[in-house]
Amino acid sequence: MEKQQQRHGTEEIPTRDQKFSVLNCIDLSSSDIQQSVSLLKQACLDCGFFYVVNHGISQEFMDQVFFESKKFFQLPLDEKMNLLRNEKHRGYTPVLDELLDPDNQLHGDYKEGYYIGVEVPEDDPQAEKPFYGQNVWPADYLLPGWRQTMERFHKEALEVARAVARIIALALNLEADFFDRPEMLGQPITVLRLLHYGGQISDPSKGIFGAGAHSDYGLITLLATDDVVALQICKDKNAQPQVWEYVAPIRGAFVVNLGDMLERWSNCIFRSTLHRVVGNGRERYSIAYFVEPSHDCLVECLPTCKSEENPPKFPPIKCGTYLSQRYKDTHADLNVYSKPQT
């Protein structure tokens, strides 16, 4: 069948049946590490997206996490607003709270979310840092066992991320444990975000999106999705017109993408990739797990990624500084949710 194309401005928008992206699949249970490194490296050079399967988190538990996520988003809005995100980016984010692509979006994203970060006791000196501290949890009488499920997933997803990071290190000609060091994934900033898209129909020509085009901020993101097709990637973010391809959901797999920090580390050898969510009228749930190094980690060009012919393209920057600015740029000011004084 001949490809149908819809053009809006400088952008080429594929229809659902037009184009799906073909992504490499990394099997974390494979004993052939060289094949895994080769597949991952090719994916990172080509598009910065790949699947991870046999990662050690059971399908039964993944189903439970999705079930608990749905239960939260089905709560009345006033109950969810009682758990509104705080300055540490913990808690509920309402529909339209986040604006990821201000140049092309009419409104914020048509999604709601829930942030869960690294739990640190209030009296711990680490709790003063922007992305550490205490989480915001729904009352146990509202959602019994909800917190325990999310804390377990947080812990298990970190082990998957560390396994992926070891293969990335080898793909960059580093020691396998390069990212395991305390200043990196030994004491990471990891953020679990539950996401719900309510079924609005996106219209790129009018700037209406489930999630606007963006690249993620950190090292890598693990994404689990339901079976609703809505995620699109643009393999070449500098291309004009931009060409968007759908990513097919695979049950039990994580879709993994590279973040901007890894692009900085690798001196653009590995690139972060633009992606967005284009809703088709179907309700959709996904679970994102954002993996970043520690607050004080200095992100600077890796020794294996620079030469006289290819000097560092970015100045060094601390992870915490970089992330704080990126979150500030995309989320609404919390003051917009303040209740008027009576």
Q: What's the pLDDT tens digit per position in 240-253?
A: 888 999 999 999 99
CA distances from 338 to 76, 84, 108, 335, 341 (A): 19, 11, 18, 5, 9
Q: Which residues, 6 or more positions from 141, have their beta carbon under 8 angstroms from its beta carbon?
A: none
Say if residue 315 is preceded by a cis peptide, omega within 30 of 0: no
The CA–CA distances, whole Å, from 117 to 114, 143, 158, 233 equal 10, 19, 12, 26
For residue 311, give the CATH number of its domain.
2.60.120.330
Highest mean pLDDT among 62-71, 79-88, 103-112, 182-191: 62-71
Instruction: Give Cα separations from 312 to 91, 116, 125, 143, 238 (angstroms).
Output: 37, 34, 34, 49, 20
More confident residue, 312 or 123: 312
Residue pLDDT, tens place only, 200-228: 999 999 999 999 999 998 999 999 999 99
Q: Give the residue from 263, 268, 259, 319 showing the smallest Cα distance to 290.
A: 259
Q: For residue 4, is pLDDT > 90? A: no
Of 274, 286, 273, the C-alpha closest to 228 is: 286
Q: Is residue 246 part of a domain?
A: yes
Q: How far apart are CA 285 and CA 248, in angstroms?
A: 14
Residue type, 303: P
Tokens of 241: 């017109």
Q: How crowded is the C-beta side of 291, counted as CA atoms within 13 Å?
A: 26
The whole-angstrom separation of Cα 259 and Cα 190 is: 13
Where in the sequence is the domain holding 150, given as residue range(s)? 25-332
The separation between CA 335 and the C-alpha centre of its own chain, rounded to angstroms, equals 25
Is residue 15 scored above 60 in pLDDT? no
Helices and strands in the chain: count of H runs, count of E runs: 6, 19
Looking at the structure of the chain, the number of domains it has is: 1
Cα 276 from Cα 246, distance rounded (Å): 10
Is 10 part of a structural domain of the chain? no
Q: What is the pLDDT of residue 337?
A: 75
Question: Tokens 């993408």 belong to which residue?
Answer: 257
- Structural domain contains residue 2: no
How high is the mean pLDDT of the chain?
90
Task: Read off the pLDDT of each residue in 103-127 and give the average, rounded to a whole number.
Answer: 91
Q: From CA 158, how far away is CA 274, in angstroms rounded?
A: 23
44 within some domain: yes
Tell me, yes or no, whether 293 lies in a domain.
Answer: yes
Residue 191 placed within a domain: yes
Q: How far apart are CA 265 and CA 179, in angstroms?
A: 12
| Residue % of the chain over a pLDDT of 70 | 93
Q: Would residue 16 count as lying in a domain?
A: no
* pLDDT at residue 18, as a whole number: 59
Is the pLDDT assigned to residue 1 strictly greater than 80?
A: no
SS3 assignment, position 307: coil
Task: With a cut of 80, say whether residue 329 has pLDDT above it.
Answer: no
pLDDT of the residue at 7: 33
Q: What is the pLDDT of residue 239?
A: 84
As a residue count, the chain comes to 342
Report pLDDT for 92. 97
Residue 339: pLDDT band with limits 50, 70, 90: low
Query: Cα–Cα distance between 127 and 339 in angstroms, integer?
Result: 27
